[in-house]
Structure 1
Amino acid sequence: MHRILALVLCALLCAQAAWSYTPEDTAMLMPGPFQNWKTLETDHFRINYREHHLPFAQRLAAVAEKVYIKQTPRLQWEPKKKTEVVITDTYDGSNGGATVLPFNRFFIFMNAPVEGELLDNAPWIEQVFTHEFVHILHLDQSSGGQTTLRNIFGRFFFAFPQIFSPAWVSEGLAVYEETDASKQFGRGQSAYYDAMMRAEYLNGFRSFSQLSYQGYWGTDWPSGQVYLYGYYFFEFLHAEYGEQKAFEYLQNWNSNIIPWRMQSRAKRVFGLSAEGLWNQFQAYLTKKFEQEMVSLPVVDYTPVVETGRINGNPVWMADGSFYYYREDGRRHPTLQHIDADGNEVQVAEVIEYQQIDVHPQAGVLLSRHTVCNNVDVFADLYRLQDNGAWKRITECGRYPRAAWAHSGERIAAVHTDRGLSQIAILDGRGTLLQLLKPLAAGEVIGHIDWSPDDKKLVAAVRREATGWNLEVLDVERDLWTPLTRNDHLEQRPRFSTDGKWVYFISDQKGMMNVRRMRLQDGQVQTVSRTQTAIVDYSVNADQSSVRVAEYTAQGVVIREQALQSWGDTYAGLWKDRAKVKSIVNQPDYSAEAFTDISDYSPLDTLAPTSWFAFLYADSDDNNWIQFILQGQDVLGFHQWQLAPAYYFDKQEFGGSLSYVAYHRLALLAERELDTVREEAPGIPSVWRQETRYQAVWQQPINSFEGTFEVDFGMGKEDVKRIIDGYGEYDSYRDNFAGVSLNWSDYERYLHSISVENGRKVRLLAEQYDAFGDGYHDGSVYSLDWREYLSLFDNHVLALRAVLGKADDSAKAFQLGNELDELQTLGALIGFGRTGYTLRGYSDNQSQLAGTNLRLYSAEYRLPVGEWFDGYTVLPVGLGKAGLHLFVDHGAAWSAGQNKDYYTGIGAELRPDLLIGYSTLKLESTLGFAKGLDDEIGETTVYLRLGASF
């Protein structure tokens, strides 16, 4: 499930480009155990859901089979086995994620989108299911030698050639397939995507290499550009070469043994290099959007906020002051305030922002994500206090959108649960006063606003039959009345201060502008102008001006325009509005027909899906073969790996076994054999046999402010020296039990080269010989405190202090080397740390060993650059890079020894190497260290590589 978690976090990253602290718990957002999970089987899918989500599961099943019938012929692929689908309600947001390893599976969050690029008249279940299933049909494909590999080894990573496509290929295809212009479905036909690409036209289109290396790691605006450019690339292929050629471009990679050969991929189908084909694509975009720009107006505006990445949620107060949300990808997002004279101040820092509303007396109301049930992420309401702190007024209320009543005494909020939407009325302290009946399944409430008399709410509402429109709710009678009914995407409605108008944003005529409806006669006027898209707005009290949050090539900026009517007026409420052309509106749609339901069983998907053999031989007479098998159930409750090995020279079996339960309990065992001395004439060989058992229970207490975690671990090892033909002649046994207390609240922003603005603290206590018959005996205690101080523009001062104390008969501490070292006894579970970094010194110096430890380190970490570009024939590039200048100062000693400190200085260059475009990120370190002590200090150069997928 780690791969799915990575996809989830990546999806959240695209939705919110800068983030602060995120818990590292792999159980976050994942299905929870002991929740009565069920499995609903259809002809081609197994849908896994919690029992009380049955109606949603049945609706999805009916949609799934229709999507299967449509998409499998188009992509010319049918999976051999049923695809696993997981429905989860652990997140108050809209997303999904797919993977083909270890089997075809994807997850869907139940809440439908109400804004942004995902806003659509299609039902959420059809929109997200189509997108994710297309990923499965694309990435699962293989032919020729790759199919042969898969038939032999199973679902092995390198037997999936399409995985090695740049991200824009897979995401672009999925957006292309979700798009149906005739139905007004999908991002590809949306006014928002059109606006985003117009902004790219004004800024200059990205090159082939730039987009391929941006992938999911990139920091350029916009964060989701692989989706955007990917869609238009397939539109270009369809328009210029025909759809058959577009699919041929995909499928010619199905037998590709050598990954990332984008040059040959283009050459075989179009006779062009990858760059040559991309040049044609850019020419297509230039022509298309050049024509669009001719018909767009030149807009007169006054800049309000033009810097930063996202400036949104504008609130223009009656006294002329102005609030907005700001995020620049370099520091904490904030709530900003500009007074009537233009003086700007930061009001408060904001994390996990959803929405802000401001009342002149009641103050600022914030909806933001919080961690609930330790692993779920739900929206709660907060109020800003006079001291600048946020006071939480609901507990896991699930209120992603909210609005103050004009009296300041009540709050209306949208409540979400089980994929259903309803209105909640709360008092100013967050106490629930009234919960109105929920809308039907598949119907969604977007943003809301109170009428001036506080008797009604206006809301953007999506209905199954008519899509997104505006409706008015009589709160006392709990009665909805349509205000508009048309085929536009309408959102963010607000009453005018006199109650005569309702302002809103819609995509009428393909342009996202601010509009207003005169309630007296239902006529709609367009009152803003843009060359891209207006994503939010606020009107001043006398309705003479509007401040808009406008999408641009550099980010979302805030600009002021005169409020006046542009173009023709039109009726917002049509007499006839044809039903949305969705699957759920087709005559043969029947969710109730899907009743093949059983209790969820991990055994259904726990079997291994692949195997791999590793053959090893060296000059020390070691030669062995190891087979690796692994598996997990689809919900991730159980994960295991079995890796038996046979040592030919020793005629012995070994290997390893691991099992992880519910992301909390890990059990590990291993047996290794290694030749210590080769056989020589008259001298038998000597080899070492090592057997270890380890177990750990990890219990985090998560929040976005920080995580406290308690870990309990134990380990046992048995090391024997064996003379070939004579048997054991020496043995060593050790065991321990330990507990660690951990706190982390460090942050990382989009442009960070290092964690920053927080700390990571670990207090560790271990008892050796906890189970008897151990070589070491006694207690070991250590405190490892790391502090990260943000300076400016993502420069960081990283400080570290380690204090250690061990009993005389316990394991001693050792300073030296370039990395902390975990001892074999507890390495795999994070215990047994006795080797600590002191750069510029080797780790075998007796002067740096002892039962007492003091280590202090300071690093100045400065950004060097951000590229996210590279070569195309040889797909190697650079992402971000930082330079770390360090000083290490430490001492280790035992009773009766001198407490001598040693110092090392140096520098580390840390570039992110991008391999295979955006497939693999190698977090590399090229370091130089010098120990300042003339006796044992050294001058060293070292290189480290670490991988991120």
Structure 2
Amino acid sequence: MRMKNLLGRLGLVLLLCGTTGGALAQSPDPRVEWQSADSANFRVHYRAVQRAQAEAVARAAERAYPRVTEALQWRLRGRTEILVLSETDLANGYATPLPYSLIAVMLAPPDEGELLENSAWLDLLLVHELTHAVHLDKVRGVPKLGQRIFGNMPLFIPNLFNPSWVLEGLAVQVESSPPGASGVQGQGDGLWSGQGRLHSPAYETWLRAERDRGFISLLELNANGRALPLSKQYLYGAYFYDFLVRRYGADAPQRWVTRYSGNFLFWPRLDSNPVAITGKPLDFLWEEFLADLAAQVDTRAAAIRRQPEVMGSVLTEPLLRIPSVTMQADGSLLAVLDDGLGRPQLTRFAADGQRSDLAEVNALARVTTAPDGRVLVAQPDLCDAWTLAYDLYVLRDGGLRQLTDCARLRRAVFAGQGVLAGIVALKHEAGATRLIWLDAQGKQERLLYAPPAGVDLSDLAADGDRVSVVAHQGADWRILQFDLAQPQAAPRTLLRRDRPIHGLAQDREGLTMVLAEDGVPNVWRLEGARLWRLSHAYTGVTAQSGRAADGSLGLVAVAQGGYTLRRMTEAQALQSVMVDVGEAPPWVTTSAPASAQLGASLAAQGRVAGGREPNPQALNDGDLGAPRSYAAWRSMYPRWWWPVLSSDHGLVTFGAQTDGADALGWHQYAAMLAAETTQQETVGSLEYLYRGRHHLALSRWVEARAWTGSSNDPETTAYKRETHAQWLSRALWPTLERRFSLGLGAALERSEWVDVESESVRRMEDTRLAAAVMDYDSLGASWYSEGANRGVYARLLYESYAPFKGEDGDDLPRDADYNGGMLRADLRGFLPLGRSVLGLRYTEARAQGRTEPFQLGGATDENLQLGIQLGNRTLALRGYGSDEPELQGANARVASLEWRTPLADIDRHLMAPAVGINRLSASVFYDVGGAWGRDEDAPARYWRGVGVELLGEVKLLYVLGLQLRLGVAQGLDGPQETHGYLTVGRAF
């Protein structure tokens, strides 16, 4: 029995792809109460206990609304759904137009990286994501007519089929324009406005590195492959729009979007889009842009390169990430190294250069050390099925020992002396950060400092009882010092700057930090009322360790192709700056900036196309309406439909298909309903997924099997009617590195032969089964790896026909009247071999009683590639067809050994036609398997197959990715035939 519901499954997959977006999407926690409330232009969904955060989000969204709609000359149609999430400690967000316009706001403010800038976090995030929402919503011409007929059908959302640099670049450009400006503004002087990422020190750093390596071509950027930087789509896209503004006018980005918004189905005319604006197709315009960018980078870098680079010696080749580095008392460096192939490693670099790996850590882990050599690690993990939180670990006995659980401590240091000895950490809760103290075992939490609303704490360092903390509100960045011995005393302000401070480290002589004082991120040291610059980078510094007693310093720098770890043996002062150490003024009380002038302007002009008129009063105050309990039905009704038409030798079917989801993503469905008009049969499919754990699939189809008449006017005389159903519910226990689940399910497949003339119905198959499944998954993949390259996956599946025994009736053939059970074990394992990987697959299935037999052969195993398919009895055995009678039996055993290796990261995407390819890989495999009957103990013989495959990551229309597999397999036994095949997905 094989459960088939391909149409519904593809619809559900499309829906899931559209709702997750490109961000790290966290599912809302269903264990808490959720509420909804409306503002003028948005419907906000939030935890009931986070009403204040929801109001802040609504105010930020309403502030952003006129700014973004004016820039793009388009208003969103209807209220946009906003989901307020506190389930993650990572700063992020996403926007999607499917199944309707929805924005997810992750409350955690940034504490590192390019998002550290002078905007309030919610303002930066909402402007960026709202730009996506408006951009994707804008439509004209034929697509607009299509939406009026078919609704929010993905094929009629032209801006969805864009390279991601087009979308992300525009959002960065808008976020970097001063609020209140008319449209999108350019910055011809190349100076950072202090808001947004365009011309920010982080982006300028990467531009200098890219200029040294050679800028990415347009076709490579379209493909969005594995080349660094990871944020290349944002980087190049933002500077391209800046180029358009400076060269072709402030309205050039808006005109670009307007033209693209009228593209026909499957015809994203990217290359010709700028012709009406610039007189040039995009490939010529891109060369002009890169020449302009090179000139700008060279001009701005000239002053930097007048001095020799002072960065010390290189310890590592360029890596994917080096998020953290710290200095031990003996001069050893500890760093978190992520090479993009295996798990990140906590690595020690001794003063004499000797390197040793200490422990595996999770991505984005942070490490600090105490003067006595103790090592403290803060790293993110799933502490339950819904919360991605930072917790604390100590390095002990060659591994990490966890101290806290779901504590949400993003940064921590050992601090204090005597009875005050313990850990001081920055705790994140629902968008707010607080300074807390814990004992050395991570217990007995005590609050030290809660900043005023609107003030974020992003970094800290300690020297005995003194703890220094980076706090900021907008462009007001401060280093505050607390004395643990005087907990009631107000903190002392050590430093105030108007740009981000990060990478804080403390030693006995003072504080070191990463600061872009002159526009270039470098290591600076604070001593009293003077800042001393210790490095001179041609690119920029992203992290630093603090100085050792001998004056040495570790730092992380951007390089061509990644990040490098460096050591400066004697960090000498290169420049000094006097700073004001006077008493800092109180923090500014946060309030909602008025947008009255811009809002009134929009209302008066009435020239922004799109949805309903804005409410000027609501734009001014951003009020959030009365709360009500969250109701999924308000958002999960269908927003689009598409006709289904088919003709099959006299059977004529008419119907429609759609899908949908609620705003929290707890209910997701894809459905098709149709009527076969000649035999009055109702057919269709439904797939429903509840909270990602409970899946139901139903389908009913008819297929002509006999007919009379000509091919132009056939008349069906007999047809087959198939009904399928599957239910599967699972309990999950996930972490980032391991996932365990238990599940229960049931399935039905009924096949009937219908004779039209006699109106008789004969059952061909009527099988029903119950199932239980257990999964363990520790598979891991990295940025550069060829799919999964480490870990194991084990599944134990038991299926039984016994619960439904006796319900099949007497009209079935005896060999189709199943009453037994089947136990199937699947094991997959992967071993990394550099960039290559060695894979092993083993499957064994044993049956008792009468069960549907297994069939070996072919190149596809749905249970390995698509997930659990109850009742599936096909096992891939390459080199053989799927109809060999000697490869059929109640019991089966199959094993595979496969070596996969990348051949080339081609990373090219054409514009006409809009087709591309990223990685091309190859595999060599050896398969062996056999099947045997109920009364046998083992196969009479094993069948072997060998072959090679090409694996290609193909992209269509810039956004649709397919893993294609083209293979040739030779059977070594039986008929010894050669089989070629083209299919989707890896073999296992």
Normalised by the shorter chain, which TM-score bucket? Answer: over 0.9
Q: Tell me whether 1:767 sits opposite 2:779 in the alignment.
A: no
Give the aligned partner of residue 690 of structure 2.
661
2:949 maps to which of 908, 911, 925: 908
2:394 maps to which of 374, 383, 386: 383
Q: Tell me whether 1:565 sits opposite 2:578 in the alignment.
A: no
Figure out how many residues of one structure are paired with residues of the other and give that number.
916
Give the aligned partner of residue 797 of structure 1.
838
Indicate the SS of the match to 2:280.
Answer: coil
Task: After TM superposition, list the pairs within 5 Å mapping 1:77-96 onto structure 2.
Answer: 77-96=74-93
1:693 maps to which of 725, 728, 750: 725
Give the percent of matched residue pairs that are identical in Structure 1 and Structure 2: 26
Q: Between 405-414 and 857-866, report the one with greater CA deviation.
A: 405-414
- Structure 1 330/291 Cα, relative in aligned 2: closer, same or farther at 3 Å? same
- The structural deviation recorded for 1:577 is 8.2
Cα distance in 1, alignment partners of residues 583 and 148 from structure 2: 59
Indicate the SS of the match to 2:946.
Answer: strand
- 8 A contact 2:18–2:98 mirrored in 1: no
**Structure 2: tracts of 5 or more residues without a match:** 1-11, 179-191, 597-618, 809-816
- 8 A contact 1:123–1:582 mirrored in 2: no
Indicate the SS of the match to 1:262.
Answer: coil
Q: For 1:123-142, what per-residue CA distance to the aligned partner results, in whole angstroms no more than 9, with x for missing partners?
A: 11101011000000101110
Cα distance in 1, alignment partners of residues 699 and 360 from structure 2: 48
- The structural deviation recorded for 1:473 is 2.0
**Structure 1: tracts of 5 or more residues without a match:** 14-27
Q: Which amino acid aligns with 1:293?
A: A
Q: Tell me whether 1:139 sits opposite 2:147 in the alignment.
A: no
- The structural deviation recorded for 1:610 is 0.3
Give the aligned partner of residue 700 of structure 2.
671
Give the aligned partner of residue 292 of structure 2.
284
- 8 A contact 1:191–1:511 mirrored in 2: yes
- 8 A contact 2:856–2:876 mirrored in 1: yes
- 8 A contact 1:523–1:571 mirrored in 2: yes
Q: Which amino acid aligns with 1:506?
A: L
- Structure 1 428/822 Cα, relative in aligned 2: closer, same or farther at 3 Å? closer
- The structural deviation recorded for 1:576 is 8.4
Task: After TM superposition, list the pairs within 5 Å mapping 1:514-553 onto structure 2.
Answer: 514-519=523-528, 522-542=529-549, 544-553=551-560
- The structural deviation recorded for 1:595 is 3.8
Give the aligned partner of residue 784 of structure 1.
826
- 8 A contact 1:692–1:718 mirrored in 2: yes
Q: For 1:227-247, what per-residue CA distance to the aligned partner results, in whole angstroms no more than 9, with x for missing partners?
A: 000000011011111111222
- The structural deviation recorded for 1:938 is 2.2
Cα distance in 1, alignment partners of residues 932 and 367 from structure 2: 56
1:463 maps to which of 469, 473, 477: 473
Task: After TM superposition, list the pairs within 5 Å mapping 1:429-828 onto structure 2.
Answer: 429-451=441-463, 454-463=464-473, 467-475=476-484, 476-478=486-488, 479-498=490-509, 501-519=510-528, 522-542=529-549, 544-561=551-568, 562-573=570-581, 584=592, 593-618=623-648, 620-679=649-708, 685-731=717-763, 732-772=765-805, 773-774=807-808, 775-791=817-833, 793-821=834-862
Give the aligned partner of residue 266 of structure 1.
274
Give the aligned partner of residue 313 of structure 1.
324
- The structural deviation recorded for 1:583 is 6.9
- 8 A contact 2:925–2:946 mirrored in 1: yes
Cα distance in 2, alignment partners of residues 223 and 657 from structure 1: 38
Indicate the SS of the match to 2:198.
Answer: helix
Q: For 1:870-917, what per-residue CA distance to the aligned partner results, in whole angstroms no more than 9, with x for missing partners?
A: 43332222211221111111110114566221111111111111222x
Cα distance in 2, alignment partners of residues 658 and 919 from structure 1: 24
Cα distance in 2, alignment partners of residues 106 and 744 from structure 1: 31
Q: Between 894-903 and 159-168, report the one with greater CA deviation.
A: 894-903
Give the aligned partner of residue 968 of structure 2.
928
Cα distance in 2, alignment partners of residues 648 and 828 from structure 1: 35
1:54 maps to which of 35, 44, 51: 51
- Structure 1 158/322 Cα, relative in aligned 2: closer, same or farther at 3 Å? same
Q: Tell me whether 1:75 sits opposite 2:72 in the alignment.
A: yes
Cα distance in 1, alignment partners of residues 164 and 385 from structure 2: 32
Give the aligned partner of residue 19 of structure 1.
none
Cα distance in 2, alignment partners of residues 174 and 581 from structure 1: 28
Give the aligned partner of residue 187 of structure 1.
197
- Structure 1 106/200 Cα, relative in aligned 2: closer, same or farther at 3 Å? same
- 8 A contact 2:909–2:917 mirrored in 1: yes
2:440 maps to which of 421, 425, 428: 428
2:101 maps to which of 100, 104, 116: 104
- The structural deviation recorded for 1:621 is 3.4
Q: For 1:701-748, what per-residue CA distance to the aligned partner results, in whole angstroms no more than 9, with x for missing partners?
A: 101231111121101232211111312241131100001111110110
Give the aligned partner of residue 23 of structure 1.
none
CA RMSD between the two structures: 2.6
- 8 A contact 2:349–2:355 mirrored in 1: yes
Higher relative contact order (CA 8 A, sep 6+): 2
Q: Which amino acid aligns with 2:312?
A: T
- Structure 1 895/658 Cα, relative in aligned 2: closer, same or farther at 3 Å? closer
- 8 A contact 2:501–2:513 mirrored in 1: yes
Give the aligned partner of residue 341 of structure 2.
330
- 8 A contact 2:44–2:54 mirrored in 1: yes
- 8 A contact 1:122–1:582 mirrored in 2: no
Give the aligned partner of residue 9 of structure 2.
none
- 8 A contact 2:39–2:622 mirrored in 1: no
Q: Tell me whether 1:232 sits opposite 2:239 in the alignment.
A: yes
Cα distance in 1, alignment partners of residues 913 and 703 from structure 2: 38
- Structure 1 843/627 Cα, relative in aligned 2: closer, same or farther at 3 Å? same
Q: Tell me whether 1:294 sits opposite 2:302 in the alignment.
A: yes
- Structure 1 188/2 Cα, relative in aligned 2: closer, same or farther at 3 Å? farther
- Structure 1 592/288 Cα, relative in aligned 2: closer, same or farther at 3 Å? closer
Q: Which amino acid aligns with 2:963?
A: E
Give the aligned partner of residue 865 of structure 1.
904
Cα distance in 2, alignment partners of residues 725 and 867 from structure 1: 59
Indicate the SS of the match to 1:921.
Answer: strand
Indicate the SS of the match to 1:432.
Answer: coil
Q: For 1:422-445, what per-residue CA distance to the aligned partner results, in whole angstroms no more than 9, with x for missing partners?
A: 112122221134223422333211
Q: For 1:284-329, what per-residue CA distance to the aligned partner results, in whole angstroms no more than 9, with x for missing partners?
A: 1111011112101221343232403133522222322221111111
Q: Between 163-172 and 243-252, report the one with greater CA deviation.
A: 243-252
- 8 A contact 1:761–1:786 mirrored in 2: yes
Q: For 1:751-781, what per-residue CA distance to the aligned partner results, in whole angstroms no more than 9, with x for missing partners?
A: 1112121111111111114224133111111
Cα distance in 1, alignment partners of residues 435 and 13 from structure 2: 36
- The structural deviation recorded for 1:496 is 2.9
Q: Which amino acid aligns with 1:787?
A: G
Cα distance in 2, alignment partners of residues 628 and 11 from structure 1: 26
Q: Which amino acid aligns with 1:198?
A: R
- Structure 1 573/617 Cα, relative in aligned 2: closer, same or farther at 3 Å? farther
Indicate the SS of the match to 1:256.
Answer: coil
Cα distance in 1, alignment partners of residues 557 and 104 from structure 2: 32
Give the aligned partner of residue 17 of structure 1.
none
- Structure 1 593/268 Cα, relative in aligned 2: closer, same or farther at 3 Å? closer
- The structural deviation recorded for 1:457 is 0.9
State TM-score, norm by structure 1: 0.92
Cα distance in 2, alignment partners of residues 352 and 41 from structure 1: 37
- Structure 1 204/52 Cα, relative in aligned 2: closer, same or farther at 3 Å? same
Cα distance in 2, alignment partners of residues 157 and 4 from structure 1: 10
Q: Which amino acid aligns with 2:267?
A: P
Indicate the SS of the match to 2:789.
Answer: coil
- 8 A contact 2:324–2:365 mirrored in 1: no
Indicate the SS of the match to 2:301.
Answer: helix
Q: Between 588-597 and 111-120, report the one with greater CA deviation.
A: 588-597
Give the aligned partner of residue 162 of structure 1.
159
- 8 A contact 2:704–2:716 mirrored in 1: no
Q: Which amino acid aligns with 1:425?
A: W
- Structure 1 116/3 Cα, relative in aligned 2: closer, same or farther at 3 Å? farther
- 8 A contact 2:687–2:698 mirrored in 1: yes
